[in-house]
Each structure stands twice: as structure tokens, then as C-alpha cells.
């Protein structure tokens, strides 16, 4: 499709109904209209540059274009950071696309996410599949909130946590992911210590048209460690998908921590089914309700403290 405005996109889709119906199947279930219309324009503008893409057929070119569209969308709307080479690529592909400034998220470093004085974010090697989700608050936003509150009565505080019905909404996706992981492990000869656990989990998640989110925090920066813990070096990785917590891992660096977190997450898929539930976790010194993926095994121990909390933006 040739470059043009958002109105041109709508007119183009009206004239190509079969393409309009197909492209709607690429929408993520949690995308707002504004976010989806912008990412849809990114996909349609760049289809000609990926010649093997055929509507209704899954191809490596389609998977790559969708990954690039999500990287660009996450950068614009969530403030996610990626390696310079990746950003140059998506910014080149996004030339000419108009974005509503009201939707753009102020970009945050990991130091701002974890807390004042923390180290800046370190890029994940596979940046197109690991998304570091940023908080959406900023000084400007706080000032605007104060101004609004001065003109209007302050509403009752909103309960922090997943929206009602979230576990049921996510269960269908994780049922599909469970089947994808099961087949992948069968083809790999079964679960074992010598597998590339992260690669298996990543490819299965992407085959279900979703993205695996990796959040890294230095071990010394985590406030909820047990009082007797003397180990302070290394990185901790938390894995999420569709806002649902899947596992935590520790390692000497980010790659090692990610590998351990992926191994822990894959262990959940060894039972007969997986279940999305609301569970209590510690986040920055307080108890919160979080969406957690669990198996059928009884768990008598407390879940690891949360490194991220995607439901804060709903306050």
C-alpha cells in the first residue's frame, strides 16, 4: 500500500474487503482502537517489503513484520527500549505514520521503573521478543492530575490489581500455549536440562501470536529479599505473557537469569493442565494481587517478589 493518512488506510480497506477481514485477525485482544489502528497502518504500509506474505497464511516474513510492528508500538505507547539497530529499523518502516500525541507514553529507563538511583536498562539480546514494560507516570502527568483534582472532586481510590474476570479471559490463550509447548517438548525429546528453555518458550508464545515479556533487575536492587540473604551480585529475570506472571530466575548475568526463569516457567507445563489464577505477591514492600500461571502441584511456599506490575496503569 502506498503512503498516506489514516483516512487513506480506511478507504484502502473498504476497497479490499478480503484484506480488511484478514488484517483484523492480527489484532491483539488487549489493544485499544487507537493503538491497533496505528499498528495496523504500520503492517499495511510495509507488506510490500516482505514479498512472501500472503493474507491468511503464516510465513516467516509475516512473523517478522508483526514482531517489528509490536516493537514499534511498544516503544511508542509503552515506552519500551530496544537496541539502536532495532530502533533504526522500525523508525525507518514507520516513516509517514501519524501518531496521536495523547497516546504516546513518556519513555522511562529501568532506573525510573525500579526506583531512584537504579542502573539504566540493559538491552535484551533478542529484543524483538522480550518487552520491558514501563510505568506510564511522569512529572508532567502528576502535575496534570493535581490540576484536574483541583477542579473536580477526588474519586474513590481504585483497587489495585487485575480487572474482574481477567483469569477467565486469559485462560483460553494459555490453553493454546499449553498445547504448543507440549508438542514442542515432544519434538525436542522431552523436558531436560540441556534444552534451550528460553528459545522453546519464546517460539511457542510467538506461534500463539503473543509476545514474551522479560524484566531484569539487579539482585541488590530488590527490596523484598529475605533478611538472611547474603548474595547480592547477579541479575534476576521475571517472565510474563499477556500480563500473566510465568516465572522468575537468577543468574550471573541477564542471559543466565532469563534461561533460569524460562526453565522454571516450562516446569509449569509438565502437568495435565495450566491455570491462570489471582495470587498474592510482594511488590515494592506491599502485598498485591497478581495474575499467575500455575500447574496442579500444591504450592506451600510464597511466590517470588514481583519485579514488574502491569496493573498499576489501571489506577
Establish if 20 belongs to a structural domain: yes
β-sheet bridge partners, residue 250: 236
CA-closest candidate to residue 247, choices 220, 270, 231, 227: 270
Examine the domain organization and report whether 98 and 170 are in the same domain.
no
Q: Domain holding 192: CATH number?
A: 3.30.160.20
pLDDT at 283: 87
Examine the domain organization and report whether 200 and 305 are in the same domain.
yes
The 3-state DSSP class for residue 54 equals strand
Examine the domain organization and report whether 92 and 182 are in the same domain.
no
DSSP output for 256-274: HHHHHHHHHHHHGGGSS--
**Global confidence as pTM:** 0.51
Identify the domain containing residue 91 by its residue range: 6-103
Domain boundary among 48, 69, 103: 103
Whole-angstrom CA distances from 38 to 94, 138, 201 are 10, 23, 28
Examine the domain organization and report whether 93 and 192 are in the same domain.
no
Please check whether residue 289 is in contact with residue 161, taking contact to mean a CB–CB distance below 8 angstroms: yes
Establish if 122 belongs to a structural domain: no
Residue ranges of the chain whose pLDDT lies below 50: 2-3, 107-139, 141-142, 145-146, 148-158, 313-315
Establish if 189 belongs to a structural domain: yes
Establish if 132 belongs to a structural domain: no
Examine the domain organization and report whether 93 and 172 are in the same domain.
no
Examine the domain organization and report whether 206 and 289 are in the same domain.
yes
Establish if 215 belongs to a structural domain: yes
- The total number of structural domains in the chain stands at 2
Q: DSSP code of 241?
A: E
Please check whether residue 126 is in contact with residue 202, taking contact to mean a CB–CB distance below 8 angstroms: yes
Q: From CA 69, how far away is CA 231, in angstroms rounded?
A: 40
Examine the domain organization and report whether 75 and 177 are in the same domain.
no
pLDDT at 145: 43
Give the other-Cβ count within 10 Å of 206's Cβ.
18
CA-closest candidate to residue 292, choices 233, 253, 255, 238: 238
Establish if 149 belongs to a structural domain: no
Examine the domain organization and report whether 188 and 309 are in the same domain.
yes
Establish if 46 belongs to a structural domain: yes
Examine the domain organization and report whether 170 and 301 are in the same domain.
yes
Residue 275 region, left (φ>0) first, then alpha (ψ -120 to 50), else beta? beta
CA-closest candidate to residue 84, choices 96, 73, 75: 75
Examine the domain organization and report whether 179 and 305 are in the same domain.
yes
pLDDT digits (tens, 9 = 90+) for 196-242: 999 999 999 999 999 999 999 888 887 766 555 556 688 999 999 99
Torsion of CA 151, 153, 159, 163, to 10 degrees: -70
Amino acid at each position: 500500500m502506498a503512503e498516506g493518512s489514516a483516512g487513506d488506510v480506511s478507504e484502502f480497506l473498504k476497497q479490499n474487503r478480503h484484506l480488511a477481514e484478514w488484517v483484523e485477525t492480527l489484532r491483539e485482544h488487549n489493544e485499544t482502537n487507537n493503538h491497533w489502528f496505528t499498528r495496523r497502518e504500520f503492517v499495511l504500509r510495509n507488506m510490500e517489503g516482505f514479498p512472501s506474505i500472503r493474507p491468511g497464511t503464516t510465513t516467516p516474513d509475516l512473523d517478522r513484520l508483526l514482531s517489528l510492528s509490536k516493537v514499534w508500538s511498544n516503544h511508542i505507547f509503552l515506552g519500551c527500549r530496544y537496541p539502536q539497530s532495532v530502533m533504526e529499523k522500525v523508525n525507518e518502516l514507520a516513516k509517514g505514520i501519524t501518531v496521536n500525541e495523547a497516546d504516546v507514553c513518556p519513555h522511562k529507563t529501568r532506573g525510573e521503573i525500579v526506583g531512584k538511583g537504579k542502573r539504566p536498562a540493559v538491552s535484551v539480546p533478542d529484543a524483538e521478543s522480550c518487552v520491558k514494560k514501563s510505568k506510564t507516570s511522569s512529572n508532567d502527568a502528576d502535575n496534570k492530575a493535581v490540576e484536574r483534582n483541583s477542579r473536580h472532586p477526588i474519586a474513590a481510590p481504585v483497587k489495585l490489581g487485575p480487572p474482574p474476570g481477567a483469569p477467565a479471559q486469559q485462560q483460553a490463550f494459555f490453553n493454546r500455549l499449553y498445547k504448543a509447548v507440549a508438542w514442542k517438548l515432544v519434538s525436542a525429546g522431552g523436558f531436560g536440562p540441556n534444552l534451550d528453555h528460553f528459545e522453546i518458550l519464546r517460539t511457542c508464545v510467538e506461534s500463539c501470536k503473543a509476545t514474551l515479556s522479560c524484566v531484569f533487575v539487579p539482585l541488590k536492587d530488590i527490596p523484598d529479599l529475605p533478611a538472611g540473604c547474603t548474595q547480592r551480585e547477579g541479575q534476576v529475570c521475571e517472565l510474563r505473557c499477556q500480563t500473566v506472571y510465568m516465572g522468575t530466575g537468577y543468574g550471573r548475568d541477564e542471559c543466565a537469569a532469563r534461561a533460569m526463569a524460562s526453565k522454571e516457567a516450562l516446569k509449569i507445563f509438565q502437568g495435565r493442565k495450566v491455570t491462570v489464577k489471582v495470587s498474592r505477591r510482594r511488590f515494592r514492600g506491599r502485598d498485591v494481587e497478581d495474575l499467575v500461571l500455575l500447574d496442579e502441584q500444591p504450592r506451600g511456599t510464597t511466590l517470588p517478589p514481583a519485579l514488574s506490575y502491569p496493573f498499576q496503569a489501571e489506577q
